[in-house]
Structure 1
Amino acid sequence: MTLRLEAFLDHVKHRGEYDTAEEADRTARVVLALLGAHLVGEVRAQLAARLPESFALVLLNPLQSAEPLPPERFVRATAAWIDGATEQTATWDVSAVLSTVADTAGEDLTEQILLQLPDGYDLLFGRPQPT
């Protein structure tokens, strides 16, 4: 099931405590562009199918990443792309978007996404794994 754009942005806006939908939209685009560089094949296609169309296109045409970034470098990269962001605010931004992505994807697909990412992303997705 695809989440409508307004509903997706409302979730991100609420979780990120943004003042405007535009702020939530900008943040979601940065995080999804970085995430898209980390996912491959069927998992990326399945996630794109569940996202609003404009975000699916961002995910499918990602910023290029030479290697999968560990979570802390992913957050740093996000901070570099968002005006005025710090690592602390970028952690908040990434979590607001990725927890919304996890809710949209559902448990099974989220598990498959996490398998493609370096350790530690479970917390950013709001899905801490038992150690």
Structure 2
Amino acid sequence: MTMRWDVFLAHVQERGEYPTRTEAERAARTVLALLGAHLVGEVRAELAARLPETFSLILLNPLQAAEPLSAERFVRATAAWIEGATERTAAWDVGAVLSVTADAAGEELTRRILLQLPPGYDLLFGRPQDTSVPGAANASGD
């Protein structure tokens, strides 16, 4: 089911603690335009179907990315697109927008989205994955 425009933006505004709906919308447009460049096929189409129409179109007509960006570079790219943003504020913007996007997508689709993205995006979506592997803690001792 598609999340309504006003509901989506209200959630982004609340999570991002934006004083205005306009700021929430600017963050959502930028983050979804960058995200769209990283998703392909059925996963992108399914996510678009669950977003309000304007954001759906942004996701389906993304800013072009020459290569998949790591989570860290995704935040940096967001900062570059939002006037006056720093990496810290951009990380906040990305987290607010992607956590609401994950809510709209649902757990199963969010899991499939994360499979298409480089490691680290689970934290941006507010869905930290349990990547613990037996013995892995000992391997990083040095």
TM range, smaller chain = over 0.9
Q: Which has the larger radius of gyration?
A: 2
Question: Number of matched residues?
Answer: 131
Gaps of 5+ in 1: none
Cα deviation for residue 15 of structure 1 reads 0.3
Match for 2:51: what amino acid?
L
Cα deviation for residue 11 of structure 1 reads 0.3
1:55 and 1:119 mapped to 2: Cα distance?
24
Gaps of 5+ in 2: 132-142
2:30 and 2:115 mapped to 1: Cα distance?
22
- For 1:90, the equivalent position in structure 2 comes to 90
Work out the percentage of aligned pairs sharing the same amino acid: 76
Cα deviation for residue 50 of structure 1 reads 0.2
- For 1:57, the equivalent position in structure 2 comes to 57
Match for 2:45: what amino acid?
A
2:107 and 2:46 mapped to 1: Cα distance?
13
Cα deviation for residue 111 of structure 1 reads 0.3
Match for 2:8: what amino acid?
F
2:82 and 2:64 mapped to 1: Cα distance?
17
SS at match of 1:111: helix
The equivalences for 1:39-78 within 5 A come to: 39-78=39-78
Match for 2:90: what amino acid?
A
Q: Deviations over 1:25-58 (max 9, x none)?
A: 0110000000000000000000000000000000
The equivalences for 1:1-131 within 5 A come to: 1-131=1-131
1:66 and 1:45 mapped to 2: Cα distance?
20
Cα deviation for residue 9 of structure 1 reads 0.1
Q: Deviations over 1:41-80 (max 9, x none)?
A: 0000000000000000000000000110000000000000
Runs of 4+ in 1 over 2 A off after TM superposition: none
Match for 1:107: what amino acid?
E
Cα deviation for residue 100 of structure 1 reads 0.2
What TM-score do you get using the length of structure 1 for normalisation?
Answer: 0.99
What TM-score do you get using the length of structure 2 for normalisation?
Answer: 0.92
